[in-house]
Chain A
Amino acid sequence: MGMLRVLPFVLLMGVAALAQSPRYGVGRTPTAEEIRAWDISIGPTGEELPPGRGSAKEGAPVYRAKCAGCHGATGLEGTAPILKSKAGPDVELWERGRILPLRAPFATTVWDYLNRAMPLNREGTLTADEVYALTAFLLYMNDVIPEEQILDAQSLPKVKMPIGDDYAPLPDWKPRTPRLKGYPY
């Protein structure tokens, strides 16, 4: 009985504590469409990925048309950074070079970078289908997925990248705290 009497009070307190009201009232609420248009950082869950699909087979002609000019026919011969490791799978992954579609922990990072940053000077001109197809092509080129695998918003985040969890976690950052205990600083 006493419990029931207290409950509404507790609920009210809770709501008041959660809903911090804005102090200055400056700024405008963006529309859902405005947020969608700018929401291009693709996290590991892939929740920001747009609709679309593509496989390495579909990516090959896109690569030839839009990427090979700088990166070379097989990703090795161009003036731009190489897209495929010169070392084979017999060499340890961390020794095979900083190749995005090989060393990235999540395939979403490959999609994200192609979408935001390629092709040079024509950034943002690839369609979602082209980005899925090129991502598939680069992953296929590095023996991460088979040629016929189709990538879309559901399957892309599930691609198992060769690095697995073999990379160092970042220690929590705290103000006024040395980062590495025992380091001579």
Chain B
Amino acid sequence: MGAKRPDRRGFLKSGAALAGGFTVGAVAPAIGQDQEHHGPQMIHEGKDQIAYGDRSKHVTSVRIAHGGRPSPDPWGLTFHIAAPLQDSVGVITPSSLHYIGTTRGSFLPDIDPKEHRLMIHGLVDRPLTFTMEDLKRFPSVTRLHFIECAGNRSSRRAKNVQETHGMTSCAEWTGVLLSTLLKECGLKGSATWFVAEGSEEIKGASSMPIAKAMDDAFVAYGMNGEAVRPQQGFPLRLMVPGFEGIFHTKWLRRIKIVDRYYINYNDFGHLDRDPKIAALEYQIGPKSVITFPSAGQQLTGRGFYEISGLAWSGGGAIKKVEVSTDGGKRWNTAEIKGSAHRMAHTRFGYEWNWDGQETELQSRCTDEIGQVQPSRAQIAKYWNKPFDETFSVPGLDNSIQPWRIASDGSVTNGHA
């Protein structure tokens, strides 16, 4: 960088006239030291910043360890990391901020994509092994999808939306439909389940119904316009849109087609005694949350605010989002920003004039198959349990999140 500085200054002096806008006098001294100038400070761009840019140093939004278990933990394992939804705009989670979940905790493998293989075998006519180059030759799909951890549940203790809902993220994923690959292998009639397995040290594996493989599952090598990040499974991960995060097998190296539920370790974690709780697993229900204003944020005074949030469902596309500004008494239709994609975060907005009074904000969504996001009171009633502070949502928690607005404009968790 230092050695490049004279070149750069020379370039600026001679080239600034072409750039327009800035004068030589305003720009060049900022490169030097402690001289007064009238424009903003300049970002000193080294070769690395030209090659791959960083965000502004003034943008400080970061992920946090989820649920009180640090990552890396004392063994050096990465476990659960939550995305800063409170700062999110639009529907894409930047790859660097995408939530992370791992089986048991995991060391991130450093995989050479040239060495990586995906093997498909078991109940197929032709077992096949694919290199990454092979996979990129197949017809591709590019789709927006959320991934959400089954442990993404709000609690009374959570202080902000990152703690209540940060274990979900949404990205644009590119890859090959699993059905394309399975047809290439020739699926046998006895195939009913498949096992997907990673190549990390624990080789995390899960069993899934073959119907999902043939419907919309795909193996993804692309994420938000570049290669899938190592924390997300580089060079290849499984996408099973709308299923719990753990099924989106990272560092994917093997798919075995089988004729029964295999009950791997991950599947063991899903076993339950109650068929109703078992049925609530796998496919994420309709869910939404207001990201602004949300707990920990501060309204600056009465007047206009656009309430903004995210809605998603494992059942399909979001059809409708409603916002209540009076604690759930009245529901108003929110605006869906852009188009709602199947199993993808969908941004909504609602125009609100705050009168300065204490109130509670809530959102709820409806998906394309008619599922409506429930309140915790409705869920308690379904399970025939009293709705009090001891109540905990069984199965996956897709309940409505209330945010309390105090008269001083502070926002807190309505469950607290």
Contact = CB atoms under 8 A, between A and B. Distances in A.
Interface of A: 19-20, 22-24, 26-30, 34-35, 38-41, 43-45, 79, 94, 98, 100, 103-106, 108-109, 112-113, 116-117, 120-121, 123-124, 166-180, 182-185
Contact of B127 (A35, A43, A105): A35
A27 B186 contact: no
Interface string B178-197: 00100111100000000101
A45 B262 CA distance: 9
Given A41-B256, A44-B260, A185-B398, A28 B129 contact: yes
Interface of B: 74-75, 104, 107, 119, 121, 125-130, 134, 137-138, 180, 183-186, 195, 197, 201-203, 205, 209, 211-212, 215-216, 253-254, 256, 258, 260-265, 267-269, 271-283, 285-286, 315-316, 368-374, 378-379, 381-382, 398
Nearest to B214: A175
Contact of B263 (A35, A104, A183): A104
A124 to B, nearest CB: 7
A123 B107 CA distance: 11
A104 B276 CA distance: 20
A41 B277 contact: no
B265 A109 contact: yes
A20 B203 CA distance: 32
Given A20-B125, A174-B211, A175-B211, A123 B201 contact: yes
B275 A169 contact: yes
Contacts of A185: 285-286, 371-374, 398
Contacts of A19: 125, 186
B275 to A, nearest CB: 4
B69 to A, nearest CB: 13
Nearest to B195: A41
B263 to A, nearest CB: 5
A103 to B, nearest CB: 7
Contacts of A28: 128-130, 134
Contact of B279 (A44, A100, A180): A180
Contacts of A171: 275, 278-279
A176 B381 CA distance: 26
A23 B127 contact: no
Contacts of A105: 263, 271
Contacts of B368: 176
Contacts of B283: 173, 179
